[in-house]
Chains A and B, each alone.
Chain A
Amino acid sequence: MDATVVPAEADRKVLVRLDAVEQLYDRKIRILGPIDLEIREGEFLSLVGPSGCGKSTLLRIVAGVLRPTRGRVFLGDRLLEGVNRSAALVFQSFALFPWLTVVDNVALGLEARGLGVHERLKKAEKYIDLAGLAGYERAYPKELSRGMKQLVGVARALAVEPELLCMDEPFSALDVLTARTMRDLVLDLWASPQVLTKSILLVTHSIEEAVSLSDRVVVLKANPGRIADMVDLTSLPRPRRADAPAVREVVDRMYTLLA
């Protein structure tokens, strides 16, 4: 099925556009695509599907760390070549530097963006505060719980003030209770006027998670990875309780589609 434009959001600015993107293995076996997809300004978009559906591959293509075998990626109307500088990444594995404190881990990405020392620290402090990490500035990663480590990863990504935050299974290494806290926090950050990043791309294998968070959910099937459905949830108010009838209905529909 082709990607269809959701009318309610169609007038929003397009941040990233994938045009007939394909990923081939060994130049002959198709593992993904062709995919057409738009990520719009201000939206929380999730890619959900089973292992092998290519959701992480898609995220890496959007972030510009993986070049698709075929097809094109546009930032606005500009063709993306190389790394996408308007996106920042959060990984499942946290990817923190163990020999750096929390504040230095968060400030790290800012150095690469050419900011001076004073400016770097100010920005790092701001996002540490917003992520609820005040008090942990001088802690080392090994002293932090898994949830706190992931918060540092989120603060580090947001500190460079990217237009798009790309998160690859950010909560799947966490226990259910911690994951719940983290999901609430990410929604708070996304809604906060102090956070400049207004668009989020989330990759998850949890349908419930995608439905509880997103404006739009792209459901992917495997072998080869392709879009099975695109669901607009903008009319579903947050917070969304898992047992709310409207939520249950959407979740059931997605399971049925994938089963």
Chain B
Amino acid sequence: MPQIHTAASTEKEYECGHSDRELKRLATQAQLIDPVTRRFFVDAGLKPGMRLLDVGSGAWGSETAMSPIMPIPPDSSPPLPVSALNPIVEQSGVANVAGLMPETITERMRANVLANRSVVFGRYEAGAWAKVG
């Protein structure tokens, strides 16, 4: 069984926390950007049977965007705390590396690729929000 790496308790805490409100917000955000995520997956050539490492998956909001492409694990309804993901990713072959800090991302990606992931995908906001009036 491949080793799955998720956020460790020793890492810097996520500033927004993991309250119900924040998990719901992450789920809402995932829904808002589902079309964007789906286009990325299509562009990446994701197909059934591939093993995906989702870097920076948040509360694993990618599963809805992924659903037309890959089967959805039965117990993956968001919102889910990161710590609850291990059983799901073991079943689906979808691993996540969430709550990443820059100093740990390289090591975690390398370890997960060695655990036989075939596609590595990362998605982050560009850090620029604009309003044109």
A, B in one complex: no
